[in-house]
Structure 1
């Protein structure tokens, strides 16, 4: 949770409700009132009324008698936001074609207040696939998506993104790596990131920008490439990257770059 000791204007009840939502969003398990209170360093009585209101408003559900978990209401609200909704709706057909042609999974991620959020995902057509669920938060510094979003930001926007990451306490990924600026310059020059996954062995991040005006990234389209050793008639990594770059150009054009081309 954020340290708001220096905030000039505080709303303790709102903070309490947001703390509960963020806590439940960070766990895959339902929690009891006592567990929530302990995790937030509050008494059970302190959060009882707030939990009751969140249940009544449909943001939290009471399950198994005395346990609480998030509903999909926040997810639905997020997808009512017009820019994200348009981006996802335009991206899904392109992502489906990529997955079919490359026989790999892919996902679309955007930057949001110090973190990278997956807003759309497409499985590979085969049984074998590596995918990241919609709504997942991934690192700004240790993922292909994060690198692409930083590389295709203006200097001012990049500085804001990194400062916001620090200010919002998004410290769940690695510290800023040495040589990052040089790496980002190379990504912008070549138009993509290709790197071994820092989370899973044998997986490679193939990431390309979805570009808007002024060559800034609206999102990052990433294929967590999983090499196949059981078949020889599937696209290899560089072929998959070529298909992904074609998808990036198509989507960038649809979303406002006109006849311009994504970097080659």
Structure 2
């Protein structure tokens, strides 16, 4: 495959272009993509044109660049999250109906929580997460659950990284975070009032596979008030239901976990 003078392949450069888009910035100019990827603007323009030809990127009405429908199609078809999401959706819908705010499903990807699904309501409390969006594990309830049950090397890596503060309640020191993860393992859920936004409480529980490994987090975001803990029983029941589905039925051609 063609390589740049630096030895980087065209595929690697194309991957950097696609990764330049974020959940908040889904439309970029060629100049902005070149700046974010460190590519020469002529190189970025050529690769963008090739990716657009194959439907992986698309041009907007103002010639801005966007993720193409073909890329979404391929990713949805191959995603290992699909079977997890399918198993979770009936329980996620019931949970959302009970809490009346946000119910969401997250997985650990690198050092972040990647949200595979989120159900919300028009008048729900503020929530920074979104589908295909990310939050750092140190600040979110989903992140606490996933990190608490992650391999030791993952936890050690997170503990050594900077921990941005979102509110006065956000945990930003390794000792505090390690103790919080221990509490999650002990009590079976994470309860984080006001850690990402002062008005919201995040509560999360683990979802397990056939090997009893934690493969996802199920969480709710509710108002940060005296009623916040009321949703915990429904959250735990929904997570048990998803776990039963994952451990009792495997769709054809799917892979466990």
Q: Would you call these one fold, judging by a TM-score over 0.5? A: yes
Which of 19, 33, 38 in structure 2 is aligned with 1:36?
A: 33
Give 1:55's aligned residue.
Answer: 52
Cα distance in 2 for residues equivalent to 1:94 and 1:15: 39
Are 1:145 and 2:139 matched, yes or no? no
Give 1:254's aligned residue.
Answer: 245
Which of 92, 109, 112 in structure 2 is aligned with 1:112?
A: 109
Which of 232, 238, 254 in structure 2 is aligned with 1:241?
A: 232
User: How far off its partner does 1:122 sit?
Assistant: 1.1
**Which is worse superposed, 43-52 or 20-29?**
20-29
Which of 192, 197, 201 in structure 1 is aligned with 2:194?
A: 197
Give 2:124's aligned residue.
Answer: 128
Unmatched 5+ residue regions in structure 2? 1-5, 166-171, 250-257
Q: Structure 1 residues 143, 200: CA separation in 2 closer, same or farther (over 3 Å shift)?
A: same
User: How far off its partner does 1:212 sit?
Assistant: 2.0
Contact 1:123 1:129 in 2 (8 A): no
Give the aligned length.
Answer: 237
- Kindly provide the CA deviation profile for residues 42-88 of structure 1, in whole angstroms up to 9, marking residues without a partner as x: 32212122011110111211112432111344443333236411110
Q: Structure 1 residues 172, 49: CA separation in 2 closer, same or farther (over 3 Å shift)?
A: farther
Contact 1:21 1:70 in 2 (8 A): yes
Cα distance in 2 for residues equivalent to 1:120 and 1:238: 22
Contact 1:209 1:219 in 2 (8 A): yes
**Which is worse superposed, 97-106 or 32-41?**
32-41
Unmatched 5+ residue regions in structure 1? 1-8, 230-235, 259-264
Contact 1:107 1:120 in 2 (8 A): yes
Which of 15, 19, 23 in structure 2 is aligned with 1:22?
A: 19
- Kindly provide the CA deviation profile for residues 162-207 of structure 1, in whole angstroms up to 9, marking residues without a partner as x: 54998xxx97856663232222121111000001233211101111
Cα distance in 2 for residues equivalent to 1:72 and 1:172: 35
Q: Structure 1 residues 159, 74: CA separation in 2 closer, same or farther (over 3 Å shift)?
A: farther
Structural RMSD (CA): 2.9
Cα distance in 1 for residues equivalent to 2:10 and 2:85: 34
Query: Secondary structure, in 3 states, of the residue corresponding to 2:241?
Result: helix
Cα distance in 2 for residues equivalent to 1:127 and 1:26: 22
Cα distance in 2 for residues equivalent to 1:257 and 1:192: 23
Give 1:78's aligned residue.
Answer: 75
Cα distance in 1 for residues equivalent to 2:70 and 2:155: 27
User: How far off its partner does 1:108 sit?
Assistant: 0.3
Give 1:69's aligned residue.
Answer: 66
Cα distance in 1 for residues equivalent to 2:208 and 2:97: 23
